[in-house]
Amino acid sequence: MQDPQNELLLGAGTMWELSIKSGLKKLQLSLPLRRWIEKAIADLGLIVLPITLDHVERQARHVVQPA
């Protein structure tokens, strides 16, 4: 994160998890969730990575079925 040559990425799944933890009151944020995430993205220069249908399909193919 300290090397300015590196891109800083934030996955959509991470934002989803933050919303779950915040909603369950297991994560206290200094601002409302949306504003907190928007500020983090702006302050850190994060690039948001979406979850696309292609990602979902690839993940579904790699799920290990229980024996």
Give dist(CA 33, CA 28) in Å, integer.
9
pLDDT score, position 67: 67
pLDDT score, position 2: 80
**Residue 28 phi, psi (nearest 5):** -100, 125
Domain assignment present for residue 26? The answer is yes
Domain assignment present for residue 43? The answer is yes
Neighbouring CB atoms inside 10 A of 49's CB total 14
pLDDT score, position 36: 98
Domain assignment present for residue 29? The answer is yes
Q: In terms of residue numbers, what domain contains 22? A: 9-61
The domain tally of the chain equals: 1
- Look up the pTM and report it: 0.75
Domain assignment present for residue 3? The answer is no
Give dist(CA 67, CA 65) in Å, integer.
6
Tokens of 50: 């979406």
* Residues of the chain scoring pLDDT < 50: none
**C-alpha angle with apex 47: 35 to 62, nearest 5 degrees?**
110
